[in-house]
Amino acid sequence: MSLKIGLRNTMGLIGVLAFVLMIAVPSGFASSSTEAKEKVEAAEKALQNAQRADDQAEKAADDWTKKADQDIRDSMNAQKKREEASAAREKANQTGKKEDIKAAEKAENIAKGAEKKAEESKKAFEAALQAYNKAKQDEEAAKGQVPPLIEPAEKAVEELPESSVKDKLKERIKKLKDALQQLAFTFPTKLDPEKVSLSIVGTSETIGHVATLTLINHSEEAFFIRIPPTILASKTGEVQNYGLPQKVETTLGPRETKTIPLTGVCLDARVRPAGPEDKDELALLDPETLDRNWRTQLGGMQTIIQTTEELQRKGSYKTPYSKRPEEERNTLIQWTTWLFVSTLKGNPITKEDFKKKVYGQAGELTAEKKEKLDPGIDNLWDAIQLTGIPVKILSTGSESILATPDWEQLENDVEKLKAREKELEEEYKKAMEEFEKARKALEQRGGGPEIEVEGGVIVGPHGKKERKKFEPRDELEKDFLDKLEAVKQKEAELQKAALEREAAEKEKKKTQVQKPLLPQPPVVNPPPAAGVIQVEQPAGPPQGPCGFFEKEFLRTVETPWRPKGGNDVTIPGRDPAVKIVWEKDIENEFQVTGRCPLVVGHGGDHVPVEKVYEKAKTVTQEESYPPGTRRPKPPKDLGLPKK
């Protein structure tokens, strides 16, 4: 009995000791896990700062690119206006006529205005370049703060005893490393050639998939590749140069070989496209080092693409490809780009060049086939001219540039187009009158069933279409068809004139706030607040619309997480676990005012005011959930203000 009691007391002491040890170990573990968690959170916070800095650097790069394009346009326009002013002054000196002297003075004032605008654009470009360089430095500094925090966090987590807490912290560190790598986007030509080799081969196409970039990773590292819009240039000039309008981002894993299709548009109609046989012929140019010539071509091509897609959506084109929109889009983008670049070089392609190309693709050319092709060629060339309006394609030599139009020229253009449209309306009415006369003459003659013609196809009685061309039997029928064709032609010309007039009016309206008024006592406006982009208000009396505009950056926000996709992960002997990829957008919030329609010098605030959001990037995060989870909880937010 005493033995049993002794053993019981001994077991009791052991139990108490074990209980004490159980309490002591978790207490130390809790302390160390808290420390590890704090280190992981510090690294995560540094990563968020680096991501924000990356967003700001990308935004600064976009702004710098836009300012560079504007600097080029305004500089070239100022040079052109100065040449025109010099020519006008020389003429005035030779003739001494009052009207020539007045014209020279007007041209010189326009040139001074263009030179002032060019100087302002140059300063804006230089400021944007400085801002971009600073943003890049800030980005590199922010990125550099993350690795020194990851290492101690990783060490602290490794020292923890095995537990679910340790597993979760290790997973967070892994995501940290992956996210940090994604910030290290590199342009392909900046990669170490000993680690990554690259080659570019053409496809013999002029638009679409024009070349293939192959990257071979010889190392154990992963690389994140980013190719902004840039130029794919011929090294020898024997093959075409291409503009690449789309940004490409991809990941190159360790020991991976990856082929990347490059989508582009050929820039030179008079050189053959690069094919697979042209080894080591194409070079990918760094967009940060593009000169004025390349920037002008790239910017013009991007404008042409946007214009083509906008006019297609509006249904403005009437071409043989209208029922094949992709083919129509590619044809118009390609030929308008060729016209634009060749005009910049002082040797513009012509309608005859276009005809020869179409005839060449048609194979054996008979008189009948040529007769069928010509109307379609005319329609396509008109569409090309229409598409070229926003990039200011002119018809004369090297003076044709991406010009910033002066106000007098804009107003003259609109008035001339209105007058031309009115003339065409009168011509259309006369053509309709002549057509009605021919139709009535045919009706009065009688002697056959009533006919209707749709696109050269006879529509007989009961609306039945006969698939044959309507051949005139006598002069009356021939006169009827000629008058019908004249009406169609005038209708097409009138439609084109209306579109050109609308485009000119839109251009005039778009730059309305910059129109200088006559010198008058100045209207004083308060200086803009920090972070506000404000259009300078011209001096003048209270007349016309105020036109005030400002765009104020408020903050960077994040949208809620949303599921992008997911799948089941099967573990042997268990129910499938759930994996979900979440995504959210990072957006810049702006307050936009304008353009104010109130009278110049009005009291009170400008109107209208609204908030707008511009997406900066989309981030993704993958999460795993236990089997049977019905309402998966989204990941933790990034710490930005909510939209």
Residue pLDDT, tens place only, 455-483: 434 444 444 444 445 566 778 778 878 88
Q: Which long-range contacts (CB under 8 A, 24 or more apart) does 351-355 make?
A: 351/377, 351/381, 353/269, 354/380, 354/381, 354/384
Given a contact cutoff of 8 angstroms between Cβ atoms, the answer to whether 67 and 124 are in contact is: yes
Secondary structure element (H or E) that encloses residue 567, with its range: strand 562-569
Task: Give the model confidence (pLDDT) of 204-235 as tens digits.
Answer: 999 999 999 999 999 998 888 989 999 999 99
563 forms beta bridges with: 582
Given a contact cutoff of 8 angstroms between Cβ atoms, the answer to whether 232 and 217 are in contact is: no
Given a contact cutoff of 8 angstroms between Cβ atoms, the answer to whether 638 and 51 are in contact is: yes
- CA 435/CA 428 separation, integer angstroms: 10
How many C-beta atoms surround the C-beta of residue 637 within 10 A? 13
SS3 503: helix
- What values do phi and psi take at 230, rounded to 5? -160, -165
Q: Which residues of the chain have pLDDT under 50?
A: 1-27, 394-407, 448-468, 511-544, 566-575
- CA 380/CA 267 separation, integer angstroms: 19
Q: CA angle, 457 as apex, 454 and 462 as ends, to 5°?
A: 80
SS3 267: coil
SS3 245: coil
What are the start-end ranges of the E strands in 228-324? 230-234, 242-244, 248-252, 257-266, 282-284
Which residue, chain included where needed, has tokens 């967003």?
A: 55
DSSP per residue over 570-619, as a string?
A: --TTSPPEEEEEEEEEEEEEEEEE----SBTT-SS--S-EEEEEEEEEEE
Given a contact cutoff of 8 angstroms between Cβ atoms, the answer to whether 457 and 467 are in contact is: yes
Q: Where are the domains of the chain?
A: 29-182, 187-290, 298-404, 424-512, 532-625
485-497 b/e (C-beta count within 10 Å ≥ 16 → b): ebbeebeebbebb
Secondary structure element (H or E) that encloses residue 4, with its range: helix 2-95
Q: Looking at the domain that runs over 29-182, which CATH code has it been given?
A: 1.10.287.1490
What CA–CA distances, in Å, run from 431 to 98, 408, 435, 445, 489?
A: 43, 34, 6, 21, 9
SS3 313: helix
- CA 5/CA 1 separation, integer angstroms: 6
Give 3-state DSSP helix, strand, coil % of the chain, rounded to 5.
55, 20, 30
- CA 262/CA 541 separation, integer angstroms: 54
Helices (H) and strands (E) in the chain, counts: 10, 17
- CA 443/CA 436 separation, integer angstroms: 10
Q: CA angle, 221 as apex, 215 and 224 as ends, to 5°?
A: 55
pLDDT the model gives residue 19 = 42
> Dihedral angle at the C-alpha atoms of 98, 101, 106, 112, nearest 10 degrees?
-160
DSSP code at position 236: S
Given a contact cutoff of 8 angstroms between Cβ atoms, the answer to whether 539 and 590 are in contact is: no
* Cis check: omega of the bond before 439, within 30 degrees of 0: no
Amino acid residing at 293: N
CA 21 to chain centre: 66
Q: List, in sequence order, the alpha helices (H) in 449-600.
A: 475-510
Task: Give the model confidence (pLDDT) of 267-320 as tens digits.
Answer: 998 999 999 999 889 999 998 888 878 888 998 898 899 889 988 888 888 888
pTM over the 0.85 mark: no
Tell the burial category of 45 from Cβ atoms under 10 Å away from its Cβ (0-12, 13-18, 19+).
middle
pLDDT the model gives residue 399 = 34
